[in-house]
Amino acid sequence: MQFFSNTKAFFLLFLLIIVLSGCGYKSSAKFSRAVMGERISTNVIISSMDPQNTVIIKDAVDRAIIEVFQASLVSRAESQTHLELKMGDPSYSPVVYDENGYVIAYRMSVSLNITKHTNGASKSYNTRGFHDFSVAPNAIVTDQDRFEAIGFAAQRAISSFVAQVSAEGARAKKKE
């Protein structure tokens, strides 16, 4: 009986290895690295209308480069790809009202223009991110609420950029 259970476990392990190695799964980070490279630099153009949000955008982009692209942040001189980001004016609009007509939820909208410079070629991407947040009825939106909403919306816009770059890498790989 001991021989049968060891043989069965070995067979299942062998079958699992064959299935996983044969499926051809590749992470989106692998496709995006093919487009972006492994050393990336960033520059966020400061908005004169909303300069405090530049830091939020820069942090979100740098986090995405490390976590999603699995690449290194380097100086522009050392980079394979340089990303230049410009944020449009963030806007928020009411989306939910209570029974008395007071606004209790807003949607923050952030648009980013990201220009990717790689090997002397440039490509521009336009992305948009949204984040819904609630407030007390008849309350004023605080700066803290606004900054947090901009940060979350910017992360979603950057996720959209990551998806575009990953799809671009997958298409390039398919052509090979």
Interval 15-53: pLDDT, tens = 777 766 655 656 666 777 777 888 999 998 887 777 777
Higher pLDDT pick, 125 / 144: 125
Determine, yes or no, domain membership for 22.
no
The total of structural domains in the chain comes to 1
Q: For residue 24, what are the contacts with CB-CB under 8 A and spacing of at least 6?
A: none
**Does residue 123 carry a pLDDT above 90?**
yes
Range of the domain at 118: 28-175
In whole angstroms, what is the distance from residue 152 CA to residue 130 CA? 8
Determine, yes or no, domain membership for 139.
yes
**Does residue 1 carry a pLDDT above 60?**
no
Determine, yes or no, domain membership for 5.
no
pLDDT at 3: 47
Determine, yes or no, domain membership for 9.
no
**Does residue 92 carry a pLDDT above 90?**
no
- 8 Å CB contact between 170 and 31: yes
Determine, yes or no, domain membership for 39.
yes
Determine, yes or no, domain membership for 14.
no
pLDDT at 20: 67
Q: What are phi and psi of 134, to 5 degrees?
A: -105, 155
pLDDT at 95: 94
Determine, yes or no, domain membership for 91.
yes
Both structure tokens of 61: 């982009």
Any idea which of 3-12, 49-58, 160-169 has the lowest mean pLDDT? 3-12
Determine, yes or no, domain membership for 59.
yes
CATH number at residue 76: 3.30.160.150
